Structure 1
Amino acid sequence: MLARTCAECAQALLDGHDEPGTVARLEQLAVQGARDEQPLDVIQHAIHEAVTAALDPTAGPGDPDLAGRLRRMVEVLDLMITTVATGYLRELRILIEERRHAVRAMTSALLAGTLDAAPAAEHGIRIAPRYLVLALAADLDDVEVPHRRLRRVRAVLTGRCGEDTLALLDDTGGIVLLPADRCGTGELRALISELTEAAECTLLATVESAAVPRIPAAAQRVQRLLGTLTALHYPSGLYLFEDMALEYQLTMPGPARDRLAAVLRPLEEQPDLLTTLRTHLRNELRRRRTARELRIHPNTLDMRIKRITRLTGYDLTTVDGAWTLRSALVAHAHHAVAG
């Protein structure tokens, strides 16, 4: 079918018959080729063969019309190739945008719990029975660069997970849904590492596995946890929801959370003490490491820890005091995120 159409169009153009109609036929050929996912180079090769076959095999060097016929063949070849390439790429852009729109719509529907499988089937997108609900947060303090970083992040996602990756992302992060049967914890950690390199900034990720009906609730949980981890200035990396269950539970509304958050209220007017507490707990109370990170003398750190103890009533150097202050820091961070 392709070879015959190309041959007929080539002959019509070489003979000078109905050029507008033939061009329109070539455009339709390109559109159909894009829709059928036929490689463009296959169509172009068929055009080359059709135009070459139209050359009179009896023509020789002494033929006075040979130069004119060759010139006309080059013109026809250029017209056919240009027409098909332009039409094919135009239709391909339309198809890609339609598919992206369908993917975004499906992602939104899954997150809202209103998925209709019909559009997914129409675009050939498989709905998995279970997904990894991945929440991402990027620390982007440059107002010009984030868009380029976002493009690189999307490129990594597409390269690793395919064009149909279900994702809603902006400059600050977002949600990605990955089929649970295609991605284990090891692969997920490798993906986050690649995304962090692409973003060239701190990138936090929390994840929970959920069946399709439970995706909306899972998305709320991982985003809530992610907000707390961001406020606590956790380092880049992947944090599994099951490993952060305590931190999540401490952010749940109730008198216990409010009481814990109030423990750090005396430090709110002294941000250096809050930073010291947060850094020291993150460093697992390693004195020299914390002092080096804060660029202060270890003795200065000791003085700050004593001030924290005096203001809060809890001794960071004891197991019970450190436990309470760590819990208070999580609750306080959530209050800061919630406004």
Structure 2
Amino acid sequence: MTTSGDERGSLRIAGQPIAALLPPLRARIVERVVRHIAEGVPGYAGMPTDLLEVDVRAVARENLLAFEASVEGRRFPEDVAERIYASAYGRAEEGLSLELVQEAYFVGTGVTWDAVVGLATVEDLDVVRTLGHEMLRFLAQVLPIVTSAYVEEMRARETDALGHRKSILSALAGGLTGPRVASTYGVTLADSYLVLAVDLRAAVPAVDQQAGRVVTRRTIRAIEGEIGGDRLSGVLFELDAFGGLILLPHVRDGLEDWTPARAKDLVERIGRHAVEVRAAYVVAAVDEIPAAVALGHDVLEVVTRGGRPPGLYGLDDVLVDFQLARPGPVADLMQEKMAALADHPDLLETVHAYLDAGRNRAATAVAVNVHPNTVDYRLRRVEALLGINPATTDGSALLRIGLLAFREERFAQAGPVD
């Protein structure tokens, strides 16, 4: 049912224009609205008296004026819309739920309806029906304003939280005045942290660049949801398509919070979002975080270059490879030698499996799905190409150094999440 402006302006109840009936009733209606909201809407009853008397009363009056304008066929006043928006934004900042604020508007509209319809007679049935439509039309204008205020406040809060988190994380990782920056934003730091260096790689390559960007954005949002779902968790993180850094509170107020086992579970959950996750962790006090970040990235490099499967790793998990991967003339020489195997992926796979199997030819054959004699043949070819016997202790150590150096280039070419 559509009502023109002229028809709305001529609406009468008990023989009188509604536009003339409402002004004398304003004070009484506003008083009832404030009382009903204070007594009947959870969250408002405990509000300070000045808030109820000033803000809620003012908004109730503005809404009544807006409804009068609607009934008279006039446009919704822009200044009233601005005040409704400002009031809703204030409630959002104070943490009052959107549902309660919307309920307050329904309560206010209901009180106004009762006051006006209470004057109607039997002959006013058609007018009451029309007035009901006007009430709904009025709410259809007001509620989107309230909702948009809440959405905007939420966006502003998210932006502030993201900026604060990045500022604190950067200060801690950079060895700057992390505690001072944190206190500026009202954040209490943990006693120590699990510092996670993270590497992200797409489990399934995207079909094209556009699809890759979509997958990347969705993946990062999903990962951030896994990490920061609890706003009070104290977790600090910054991630992009390649990976990033996560600080998980390890000990807070003397109590253990994030353990390596719990962090391992987090990494596994992240890995469910169509992404391979490799992460390295180091436990560090606040003032040790810069060194922990550097060590974490070194451990992560060993993990990725060593071709280890997705998961969470500590230094204890890669001690031998970590030491072998240290830069030096031996590593440089072996990187050059390993180039001879660049065009022989079968030999690289066999050497890697052979070393992982502790130089057990039978286990190697199972790992690469060939006959043990084929393993022997491939190892002889490796010795011929490199001049290194994989079956000896020294030879296997040199080959492990070579694999770690050689895999650096291969993993660098693997690409980010997108």
TM-score normalised per structure 1? 0.85
Aligned with 1:135: secondary structure? strand
**Pairs aligned (count):** 335
The answer as to 2:118 corresponding to 1:58 is yes
Give 2:330's aligned residue.
259
**Of 353, 360, 364, which aligns to 1:279?**
353
Which string of whole-angstrom CA distances, capped at 9 and with x for unpartnered residues, describes residues 301-339 of structure 1?
111223334555554334554345334544555698899
The answer to whether the 8 A contact 2:235-2:249 is kept is: no
| In structure 1, C-alpha distance between the alignment counterparts of 2:106 and 2:56, rounded to whole Å | 10
The answer to whether the 8 A contact 1:258-1:331 is kept is: no
Which string of whole-angstrom CA distances, capped at 9 and with x for unpartnered residues, describes residues 22-64 of structure 1?
2221111121122222211111111111111112262456252
Give 1:173's aligned residue.
243
The answer to whether the 8 A contact 1:264-1:312 is kept is: no
Q: Specify the code of the residue in structure 1 equivalent to 2:84.
A: L
* Structure 1 stretch displaced more, 105-114 or 141-150: 141-150
**Of 9, 12, 26, which aligns to 2:84?**
26
Counterparts of residues 123-138 of structure 1 (less than 5 Å)? 123-138=185-200
| In structure 2, C-alpha distance between the alignment counterparts of 1:230 and 1:303, rounded to whole Å | 28
TM-fit CA distance, 1:11:
2.0
Counterparts of residues 47-86 of structure 1 (less than 5 Å)? 47-55=105-113, 56=115, 58-60=118-120, 62=122, 64=124, 65-86=127-148
Aligned with 1:54: secondary structure? helix
Relative distance call for 1:62 and 1:290 in structure 2 (3 A) is farther
CA radius of gyration, larger in: 2
**Of 226, 239, 253, which aligns to 2:300?**
226
| In structure 1, C-alpha distance between the alignment counterparts of 2:235 and 2:383, rounded to whole Å | 49
Give 1:4's aligned residue.
57
The answer to whether the 8 A contact 2:59-2:83 is kept is: no
The answer as to 2:155 corresponding to 1:93 is yes
Relative distance call for 1:205 and 1:61 in structure 2 (3 A) is farther
| In structure 2, C-alpha distance between the alignment counterparts of 1:325 and 1:245, rounded to whole Å | 17
The answer as to 2:293 corresponding to 1:235 is no
The answer to whether the 8 A contact 1:262-1:332 is kept is: no
- 5+ residue gaps, structure 2, are 1-51, 71-75, 252-256, 414-418
TM-fit CA distance, 1:68:
3.7
Aligned with 2:272: secondary structure? helix
TM-fit CA distance, 1:129:
2.5
| In structure 1, C-alpha distance between the alignment counterparts of 2:310 and 2:371, rounded to whole Å | 26
| In structure 2, C-alpha distance between the alignment counterparts of 1:68 and 1:51, rounded to whole Å | 15
Give 1:37's aligned residue.
95
TM-fit CA distance, 1:174:
1.3
Q: Specify the code of the residue in structure 1 equivalent to 2:64.
A: Q
Superposition CA RMSD, Å: 3.1
TM-fit CA distance, 1:177:
1.0
* Identity between Structure 1 and Structure 2 (%): 24
TM-fit CA distance, 1:234:
0.9
TM-fit CA distance, 1:277:
1.7
The answer to whether the 8 A contact 1:6-1:47 is kept is: no
| In structure 2, C-alpha distance between the alignment counterparts of 1:66 and 1:244, rounded to whole Å | 79
The answer as to 2:228 corresponding to 1:158 is yes
